[in-house]
Amino acid sequence: MSRQRLVALVVIALLALGGASYFAGRRNGSAQTQGALLFPTLAAQLNSVAELTVLKGSSSPAVSVHRQGEQWTVAERGNYPADTGKLRRLLLSLTDAKIIEEKTSNPASYSIIGVEDPLKPEATGVEVTVTAADGKHAVIVGKSAPEGSYVRRVGEEKSYSVAPAISVDGEPRFWLDTKLLDLKAADIQKVEAKLADSPPYLLHRPAPAAPAKPEPAAAAPASAASAASAGSTTPPPPPPPADFVLDGTPAGRKAADAATLAPSPTAYGNLSIDDVAQADGVDFSKGSVVTVTLNNGNAVTLDGVVVGDKHWIKVTATQDAALTAKAAGRAYEIANFRYDAIFRPLEQLLVPKPAPQDKKAPAALPLPGKLPGLKPPRAQSSPSP
């Protein structure tokens, strides 16, 4: 074997060994990545999390949910209370996210799976940053993957598919605690309405009649009286609430039936909000006012106004300090059907007017043979034989 041929074989062998080592390293690295946690240290830091921000299309956060004392609030909505359940679900999905496989490291291909720079206006993904005691944990969450989500840790070139899926909302209103009011229909004593486009009225339950005095009963034997006394330990059930009556019925009109007059159980019960704003940014000066008085004396006043396609209310209460403090200086957007159930016009509480008759309708045609001015035909005589 010539010296040149020997050198060539040695070079080929070295290249083969180097290639094998390279691909083995790639396989081992992929195997070590697969199944690894996206954020290995985050689980131990959950109790120290102080803030979560979402960036999309701008360097200013679209959403900032941060801890203020014992409460989580949304900075973009005047530090209104946040939905802690939603926050917890996102933190757990970030904590539990495991890498399924490595994806592209080519920046030119990032947009295909939505992990490009989220500050670009056309970006489809969002950047989520969790600030804890050990620092920041930041990731770009892109499009949905077949088994979860595509992600790229901020500052890294590699992107991954992870599971379970990570769902992030980039609108502040979707992070609000939407629970506002829950007044039970059975607890309502009266509803006083002063509406912008309807005459005022008062719905109320009449005062219960005084119970009749029982007739004196004949004295019973001691043993029987003792037995009756022993068996009367359970108090009688409270009487059902009286039906509502309407004050303010116009002359010549009648109030609707009791079922129509009664406030709907969904009018004031479990009232949730769609958004919140500063009250001084909404003009309530020409709006409507409804005051709901409960059996315990608490009076809840709701001011309402429609601005464009949005329905706004503000709330105060005489005996609910927590609600008053929460709603102070704030206006709430609610669904239009909930608004309509609260601010019912007087016409909806009245028996409908009879439909007007059409004065131009044609008169009924007379029966055949009775046309006016037409004489019946004479009977013809029979010819004589």
Distance (Å) of CA 320 to CA 132, 189, 264, 327: 36, 17, 22, 11
69 and 152 housed in the same domain = yes
Domain contains 232: no
CA distance 160 to 113: 10
307 and 340 housed in the same domain = yes
pLDDT at 95 over 90: yes
pLDDT level of residue 89 (50, 70, 90 thresholds): very high
Mean pLDDT of 333-354: 95
Host domain of residue 294: 179-207+243-349
203 and 309 housed in the same domain = yes
pLDDT at 147 over 90: no
pLDDT level of residue 368 (50, 70, 90 thresholds): low
Domain boundary among 175, 197, 217: 175
Mean pLDDT of 295-323: 96
159 and 278 housed in the same domain = no
The per-residue pLDDT for 23 is 37
Domain contains 227: no
79 and 133 housed in the same domain = yes
131 and 203 housed in the same domain = no
pLDDT level of residue 263 (50, 70, 90 thresholds): very high
CA distance 10 to 18: 12
pLDDT digits (tens, 9 = 90+) for 357-367: 766 656 665 55
pLDDT at 20 over 50: no
Domain contains 363: no
The per-residue pLDDT for 242 is 85
Nearest to 125 by CA among 141, 149, 138: 141
Structure tokens at 208: 């219960």
Sheet holding 275-278, edge to edge: 245-247, 201-204, 188-194, 288-294, 299-307, 310-317, 330-334, 275-278
331 and 203 housed in the same domain = yes
Alpha carbon distance, N-terminus to C-terminus of the chain: 157
CA distance 137 to 127: 10
Domain contains 257: yes
Report whether 148 contacts 163 (CB < 8 A): yes
The per-residue pLDDT for 357 is 74
Residue 171 vs residue 28, higher pLDDT = 171
138 and 250 housed in the same domain = no
pLDDT at 18 over 50: no
Strand partners, 277: 331
pLDDT level of residue 16 (50, 70, 90 thresholds): very low
Phi, psi angle pair for 291, to nearest 5°:
-115, 120
Domain contains 189: yes
Mean pLDDT of 109-114: 96
What is the DSSP annotation of 68-109? ETTEEEEGGGTTEEB-HHHHHHHHHHHHH-EEEEE----GGG
300 and 317 housed in the same domain = yes
121 and 141 housed in the same domain = yes
Domain contains 384: no
Domain contains 382: no
The per-residue pLDDT for 232 is 53
pLDDT level of residue 330 (50, 70, 90 thresholds): very high
49 and 168 housed in the same domain = yes
Domain boundary among 119, 153, 175: 175
pLDDT at 210 over 90: no
Number of domains the chain contains: 2
CA distance 5 to 69: 78
191 and 125 housed in the same domain = no
pLDDT at 64 over 50: yes
Domain contains 282: yes
Answer positive or negative: Cα dihedral of 249, 255, 259, 264.
negative
